[in-house]
């Protein structure tokens, strides 16, 4: 299984939540969008365990199965189409999650998240 991991599921994994640990262990590829890395680091910057959390994240990012996903020009077209779809449906989602959605679609991956608003985009397979 090839997955994109959202911020909440990365935190679940770090906290030892059984289903998160199981999915991540079974996945052949784990993709983490740059926006998720930024959200995590923003949390570290505001928390009391920033250096410890950064060490854990660095170890995770350096695993052979883990890749950071970056947006490119192609991502922007997908983002725009998803934005239009959500606007037409009257079901907007947070901007960061729209970027995560665009990267998931672009790379043909499954999304691993606890956020229900991704269900507003049926073209995104979820774990």
pLDDT, residue 112, reads 98
For 65-84, how does the pLDDT look when each residue is reduced to its tens digit (9 = 90+)? Answer: 999 999 999 999 999 999 99
Eight-class DSSP state of 125: -
Q: What structural domains does the chain harbor?
A: 2-120 (3.40.50.1010)
Please report the pLDDT score of residue 58 as a whole number: 97
Q: Give the pTM.
A: 0.95
Residues in the chain: 127
Q: Report phi then psi at 47, rounded to 5.
A: -95, 180
pLDDT of residue 61: 98
- Comparing C-alpha atoms, which of 41, 25, 23 is closest to residue 33? 41
CB 54 within 8 A of CB 44: yes
CB 113 within 8 A of CB 104: no
Q: Using one digit for the tens of pLDDT, what is the confidence trace for 12-65? A: 999 999 999 999 999 999 999 999 999 999 999 999 999 999 999 999 999 999
């Amino acid at each position: 299984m090839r997955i994109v991991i959202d911020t909440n599921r990365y935190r679940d994994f770090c906290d030892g939540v059984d289903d998160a640990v199981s999915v991540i262990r079974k996945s052949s590829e784990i993709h983490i969008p740059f926006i998720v890395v930024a959200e995590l680091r923003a949390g570290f910057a505001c928390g009391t365990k920033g250096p410890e959390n950064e060490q854990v994240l660095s170890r995770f990012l350096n695993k052979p199965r883990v890749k950071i996903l970056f947006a490119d020009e192609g991502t922007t077209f997908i983002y725009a189409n998803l934005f239009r779809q959500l606007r037409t449906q009257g079901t907007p989602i947070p901007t960061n999650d729209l970027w995560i959605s665009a990267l998931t679609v672009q790379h043909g991956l499954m999304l691993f998240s606890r956020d229900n608003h991704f269900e507003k985009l049926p073209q995104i397979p979820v774990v």
